[in-house]
């Protein structure tokens, strides 16, 4: 059965909500959910890029509709980028701490 994009996206959204409703997920399951969600985001972004690169599609929207889309999309992306920056900084900090611990546990380096 052929499903249109909206129907597939609704099913994807339902699946993400279903996956996230399990309160007993372990770490691997949480990573799996994020991978699934990022895959869905990638698919959505590819569709958006097709739209915004198509004068035939974009010309069907008036200025108010385009303004609303731009405001909504840039708001969502701004929030995501703010989170991306903070979690990247945290991950970098954790990575540097782990690297320092490993260097301390190895003792003095081999010197010739």
pTM: 0.77
Number of structural domains found in the chain: 2
The whole domain housing 92 covers 62-104
Within-domain flag for 30: yes
Helices and strands, counts by H and E, the chain: 4, 0
- The per-residue pLDDT for 103 is 75
43 with 82, same domain: the answer is no
69-100 pLDDT, tens digit per residue, is 999 999 999 999 999 999 999 988 888 777 77
Within-domain flag for 11: yes
Cα–Cα distance for residue pair 45/63, rounded to 1 Å? 22
Contact 57, 51 (CB under 8 A): yes
Cα–Cα distance for residue pair 24/26, rounded to 1 Å? 6
50 with 94, same domain: the answer is no
Token pair of 46 as six digits: 């590819």
Using CA atoms, how far residue 75 sits from 45, 49, 80, in Å, is: 15, 17, 9
Within-domain flag for 111: no
Within-domain flag for 109: no
20 with 45, same domain: the answer is yes
């Amino acid at each position: 059965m052929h499903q249109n994009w909206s129907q597939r996206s609704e099913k994807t959204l339902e699946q993400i909500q279903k996956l996230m409703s399990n309160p007993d997920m372990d770490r691997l399951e949480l990573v799996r959910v994020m991978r699934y969600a990022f895959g869905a985001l990638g698919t959505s972004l590819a569709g958006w890029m097709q739209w915004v690169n198509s004068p035939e599609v974009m010309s069907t929207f008036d200025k108010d509709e385009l303004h609303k889309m731009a405001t909504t999309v840039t708001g969502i992306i701004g929030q995501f980028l703010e989170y991306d920056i903070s979690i990247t900084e945290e991950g970098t900090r954790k990575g540097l701490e782990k690297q320092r611990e490993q260097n301390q546990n190895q003792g003095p380096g081999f010197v010739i």
